[in-house]
Amino acid sequence: MVATIGAVASASQGVSYYERDGYYATDDPAHKEASAWSGRGADALGLSGQVDPGVFKAVLEGRVPDDSGQRLGRRRNGKFVHRPGRDLTFSAPKSVSLAALVGGDERIVAAHDKAVKRTLGWVEKHVAETRLREENTGRMVRAGGQEMVAGTFRHNTSRNLDPQLHTHAVLANMLKGGDGKWRTMANEKLYASQRLIGAIYRVELAREVKRLGYGIEKTHADGRFEIAGVSRKVIEAFSTRRAAIVAAMNDRGLGDTKTNPRLAERAALMTRAHKRDVDHDGLRAHWEKQAEALDFDAKGLAALAGSGKERGAAVAAAPEGAAISKANGAAPSTGAASGAARDAVAWAVAHLSEREAVFSRTDLLAAALAWEPGAVT
């Protein structure tokens, strides 16, 4: 699954969990560089660059880190009760992780970071909501236009210590409204948009990977893809974490991961190992030996892509916003981009209407982005 959403159990546990990578040593400068503040709310608070653990813990506790001393939450039995936030996790396809972490292509890591940043920008604009009381009716309603505070933490391994490039974006339960007031976050739209959020990250990543010169192959109707030239045998050999989840679901008769994503998330929780620190260089050496045993030349794959990067840039030429603007009813773009947008939406309608007479706008956008990975935005 490309995008998952989970609750952060507590502020203190959240800090220790996200600080542990399992790939870099805790005192390694690269470990600290893998974290960053995100969101206009963070900008408003002067939070930028690497995430400071102390400030991060305060934010998760609902303490607004400014001069106001405001704390979000409710007093219960003399104590503050506050939900820390939600963990929105973006995971790259296995072949992308292999090219980056075994092939050593640092450009892919940067591409992943760009895709995450753009997706979080969309989440802030379209999904981040709070609850407000209407003046006329007194009813509580959800309101958008909020500024988000998030900490992002890039990790490079799965629980089984397979190469797995992924980022935990911790959306703090703290939003700034247009009136300058800080309020808690309503999560309904976040969960309702999960599929679309995953599709946006996936299409942005596909565009960036293409620009780097890699070929990609669509593997599933929902737009999931892999880098061309990486065999299924190699992908499965480096996917022991997924194999454990599938086995757990089969043992319990829960069906497959695609049709039962919620149950798949439960199986993931049941089968995950504890996080632990490992030697960076030793782990990379192990991956390289494993790749060699599989006759998989990860460095050669990265080198070949680098030599064809100009060709890759031409493949991913659709301007920003092409498909989204068309789907929102805005004036269509001219040329190939508008044609691609129309084709994407037409394919999405045909695909969705095979099984359902009525479908949501969110599902329509997600399906349109799945048409051809990286072709439209």
Q: Is 254 within 8 Å of 260 (Cβ atoms)?
A: yes
Tokens of 161: 């210590």
CA 283 to each of CA 22, 24, 155, 277, 286: distance values in angstroms, whole numbers, following the listed order: 10, 10, 14, 11, 5
| Residues 6+ away with beta carbon under 8 Å from 192 | 362
Q: Which of 18, 24, 201, 214 is catalytic?
A: 18
Distance in angstroms (rounded) separating the CA atoms of residues 87 and 83: 12
Largest CA distance in the chain: 70
One digit per residue, the tens of pLDDT, for the chain of length 377 reads: 578 999 998 888 778 777 665 444 455 666 567 899 999 999 999 999 999 999 999 999 999 999 888 999 888 887 888 999 999 999 999 999 999 999 999 999 999 999 999 999 999 999 999 999 888 888 999 999 999 999 999 999 887 889 999 999 999 999 999 999 999 999 999 999 999 999 999 999 999 999 999 999 999 989 999 999 999 999 999 998 654 545 544 555 655 545 555 544 444 444 454 555 567 788 889 999 999 999 999 999 999 998 764 444 444 444 444 444 333 433 444 577 788 999 999 999 999 999 899 999 999 999 999 999 999 98
Q: Is 290 within 8 Å of 239 (Cβ atoms)?
A: no
Q: Is 309 within 8 Å of 213 (Cβ atoms)?
A: yes
23 is an active site residue:
no
Beta bridge partners of 71: 63
| Ramachandran assignment for 255, one of left (phi > 0), alpha (psi -120 to 50 degrees), beta (any other) | left
Tokens of 354: 């095979």
pTM score, whole prediction: 0.83
Per-residue confidence (pLDDT) for residue 316, from 0 to 100: 40
Distance in angstroms (rounded) separating the CA atoms of residues 117 and 110: 11
pLDDT tens, 301-352?
A: 999 998 764 444 444 444 444 444 333 433 444 577 788 999 999 999 999 9
| Residues 6+ away with beta carbon under 8 Å from 232 | none
Query: Dihedral of the CA atoms 241, 245, 251, 252 (nearest 10)?
Result: 160
- The H-assigned helical ranges of the chain are 11-19, 29-33, 40-44, 53-60, 94-101, 106-126, 188-192, 194-211, 232-237, 240-251, 261-271, 280-293, 298-307, 309-315, 322-327, 336-353, 361-370
- Cα 345 vs. chain centroid, distance in angstroms? 23
Per-residue confidence (pLDDT) for residue 172, from 0 to 100: 96
DSSP 279: -
Q: Is 72 within 8 Å of 92 (Cβ atoms)?
A: no
Tokens of 237: 């050999």
- Cβ neighbour number for residue 3 with a 10 Å cutoff: 21
Q: Is 370 within 8 Å of 221 (Cβ atoms)?
A: yes
Tokens of 363: 């599902």
DSSP 129: B
Per-residue confidence (pLDDT) for residue 30, from 0 to 100: 63
Per-residue confidence (pLDDT) for residue 318, from 0 to 100: 42
Return contacts of 359-362, CB within 8 angstroms, 24+ apart: 361/327, 362/192, 362/193, 362/195, 362/196
Among residues 323, 337, 373, which one has the least CA distance to residue 209? 373
Return contacts of 68-71, CB within 8 angstroms, 24+ apart: 70/182
Distance in angstroms (rounded) separating the CA atoms of residues 296 and 234: 7
DSSP 273: P
- Cβ neighbour number for residue 270 with a 10 Å cutoff: 12
